[in-house]
Amino acid sequence: MNILKKILILSSVFLLLGGCKGGKLPGADARKVPYDARERVKKNIEEGRGFRLSNVMKMPKGGDFDFATSNELWRASLDVIDFMPLASANYSGGMIITDWYSDNKNPKESIKLIIRFLTNEIRSDAINIKIFYRICTEVNNCTIKEKSGSLAKELKKEILKIAATYKKETTKKEFKEYVGFDRQK
């Protein structure tokens, strides 16, 4: 009975270790982590992963909602299409739908956009833009077609450019210089 318990425990240990990535124990890559403890602390705090006692003492404010305004892609999309009326803007659903828009030059043609957010990361496959054209020959005689072309690519390019600018500004605001342990210098 004693041998059976040892075999069971030993096999459990091997199964647990074998389930880790590549058979290795999880942990940091020693090549990417500075050797000096002060350098590690500085790097963690600058990346926002640090712990400061001054932040613990601050009490959270009630009613402080920080969702759509902190998403750079969402803000950039609304800035790019701010001239168009919105039919629906659902942040939790990840979709912006405009109403039909036409300029004064050609009132029989109008355009509608649907912007769908696939991820919060700023990258080329983060958003999907669909463009619909409506052409009316009479009051109630209209044809609607989805078109993909240069306009969707230009809109996506402009949204990503503005979102990258917003992200850079946010990163600058959140960056905190590490003071260090040595206060005697």
Helix axes 150-174, 72-80, angle to 10 degrees: 130
Q: What is the pLDDT of residue 146?
A: 92
Question: Is a pLDDT exceeding 80 seen at residue 1?
Answer: no
Q: What ranges do the domains of the chain cover?
A: 68-170
At residue 165, φ and ψ (nearest 5 deg) are: -65, -45
Instruction: Return d(Cα 13, Cα 19) in angstroms, integer.
Output: 10
pTM here is 0.57
Q: pLDDT digit string (tens) for 112-137?
A: 999 999 888 898 899 999 999 999 98
For residue 67, the SS3 value is: coil
At residue 79, φ and ψ (nearest 5 deg) are: -70, -40
